[in-house]
Chains A and B, each alone.
Chain A
Amino acid sequence: MVYLTAAMIAIWLLTFGYVFYLIQRTKSLEQEIRALETLVKEAEKGR
């Protein structure tokens, strides 16, 4: 039972860890895009 438990922990940590990574990466990229778009707009206004 110990090997099955260890395997289940490893498999689902990997799977849910990847889900968590994808969610965090999406959030941080969307935030960066918003900041960069604001910069671009301000630069266009300033010209």
Chain B
Amino acid sequence: MQNKKWGWLELLTVLAAIMVAVNFYVGLIYAPDPSNLQTEVTRKAQHIFYYHMGMNVMAGLGMLVNFIGSVLYLLTRRRFWDAVARSAAEIGVLFGIGVLVSGSLWARPTWNTWWTWDPRLTTATITILLYAAYLMLRNAVEDPDRQARFAAVYGTFAFISVPITFMSIRLWRTIHPTVFGGGDPAAKGAFALGPHIRFAMQFSSWTFMLVFLLFLVVRVRVALLEERVMALRQQVDAQLSRGAEVDPMEHAGS
């Protein structure tokens, strides 16, 4: 019987799973229904906000790590940083879509519409599309080094849209609530948070940060495995072209 030792990744997975489970309780039961909202539907829908916020943290971190990975790739030309940037962009786009979907489900009972071209919603959509384009365009370049270089330059410039999205609720007229820095007089949608709601917000953010870290580590591992497959394929091709007697079809099904 294989006696596999527990590493830090297994511990991180268990910790993330526990926090996700506790986050269900905190967001759905511990956090009270906001007393200032008029209807039962809007009070219940407000609980979406804890998870919407968490996904927003994940998407934002994905884009930030993509920026850091892109800059570090340009400075060092180490493929590892390209793998980090690519992995972070994928997580950013995926959970960015989650932000839009959960936000829309919150907006329908609260704003009485699924969607509005509010500055925050518009800038967030543009940002997600920019990173979706990053993932699609990098695949259009065949040479791996050119692909990584192009993606790093694109990723560095695409990040400009992230602070614009973050600041959009402070810079322009908007109906979107301002959660972070709500006390700032420049914040248009500022509101006060009670201690239970504040705790639920913070706990959800920490939980999704941990989930992000776990996903990033696993996705980078997958990206490095993909690179290993590419390298091995090139090796096999080179051996085949040198006339080594290997029949690739023999192993195709294994």
Cβ A39 vs Cβ B251 within 8 A: yes
Cβ A43 vs Cβ B229 within 8 A: no
CB-CB under 8 A from A30, the residues of chain B are 225
Q: What sequence of 0s and 1s flags, for each residue 47-84 of chain B, a beta carbon within 8 Å of any chain A beta carbon?
A: 11001100100000000000000000000000000000
Interface size of B by CB at 8 A reads 42
Q: A26-B221, A40-B236, A43-B244 are in contact. Are A7 and B51 (CB under 8 A)?
A: yes
Q: A7-B105, A36-B229 are in contact. Are A46 and B222 (CB under 8 A)?
A: no
Any chain A CB within 8 A of the CB of B122? Answer: no
Cβ A29 vs Cβ B222 within 8 A: yes
Q: A7-B105, A7-B106, A35-B254 are in contact. Are A26 and B232 (CB under 8 A)?
A: no
Distance A37 CA – B14 CA, assembled complex (angstroms): 33
Cβ B98 vs Cβ A43 within 8 A: no
Q: What sequence of 0s and 1s flags, for each residue 1-45 of chain A, a beta carbon within 8 Å of any chain B beta carbon?
A: 101101110110011001000100110011011111111101110
Contact with B44, one of A1, A10, A34, A44 (Cβ below 8 angstroms):
A1
Cβ B94 vs Cβ A14 within 8 A: yes
CB-CB under 8 A from B221, the residues of chain A are 26
Q: A18-B94, A22-B218, A22-B222 are in contact. Are A46 and B232 (CB under 8 A)?
A: no
Cβ A14 vs Cβ B105 within 8 A: no
Any chain A CB within 8 A of the CB of B175? Answer: no
Any chain A CB within 8 A of the CB of B143? Answer: no
Any chain A CB within 8 A of the CB of B219? Answer: yes
Main secondary structure of the interface of A (DSSP, over half): helix
- A interface residues, Cβ below 8 angstroms from B: 1, 3-4, 6-8, 10-11, 14-15, 18, 22, 25-26, 29-30, 32-40, 42-44, 46-47
Given A29-B226, A39-B246, 17 other A-B contacts at CB below 8 A? Answer: A3-B45, A7-B101, A10-B102, A11-B98, A11-B101, A14-B101, A25-B222, A26-B225, A29-B229, A32-B229, A33-B228, A35-B251, A36-B236, A43-B240, A43-B244, A44-B239, A46-B246
* A-B contacts, 22 listed (Cβ < 8 Å): A3-B41, A7-B48, A7-B52, A7-B101, A7-B102, A7-B106, A8-B48, A10-B98, A11-B55, A11-B98, A11-B101, A11-B102, A14-B101, A25-B222, A29-B222, A29-B228, A33-B225, A36-B233, A38-B251, A40-B236, A43-B236, A43-B245
- B interface residues, Cβ below 8 angstroms from A: 28, 41, 44-45, 47-48, 51-52, 55, 91, 94-95, 97-98, 101-102, 105-106, 108-109, 211, 215, 218-219, 221-222, 225-226, 228-229, 232-233, 235-236, 239-240, 244-246, 248, 251, 254
User: Which are the 10 A-B pairs with shortest beta-carbon distances?
Assistant: A36-B232, A29-B225, A43-B244, A43-B239, A7-B105, A7-B48, A43-B246, A3-B45, A46-B245, A7-B102
